[in-house]
Structure 1
Amino acid sequence: MIISYKDLQVHKKAFSLAMDTFWRTRKFPKKEIYSLTSQIVRSLRSDSANISEGWGKPQYAAVFKQQLINALGSNSETQDWLDYALAFNYIEKKSIPHLLKVMNK
Structure 2
Amino acid sequence: MVKELVRKHQDLEIYKMALDMAMQIFELSKKFPVEERYSLTDQIRRSSRSVCANLAEAWRKRRYEAAFVAKLNDCVRGACRRQAEAAETQTWIEFSVKCGYLDVEIGRELYGTYNQILSGLVNMINHSESWLMKH
Structure 2: how far apart are the matches of 1:100 and 1:87?
Answer: 13
- The size of the alignment, in residue pairs, is 105
1:93 paired to 2:93: no
Counterpart of 2:20 (choices 7, 13, 16) is: 16
How far has the Cα of 1:33 moved from its partner? 0.9
TM alignment of 1:1-105, pairs within 5 A? 1-72=5-76, 73-105=84-116
TM-score, structure 1 normalization: 0.95
Structure 2: how far apart are the matches of 1:85 and 1:96?
Answer: 8
Which of the pair has more CA radius of gyration?
Answer: 2
TM-score, structure 2 normalization: 0.75
Over 4 Å off, 4+ runs = none
SS for the counterpart of 1:104 is helix
Which stretches in structure 1 are left out of the alignment for 5+ residues?
none
SS for the counterpart of 1:34 is helix
Which stretches in structure 2 are left out of the alignment for 5+ residues?
77-83, 117-135
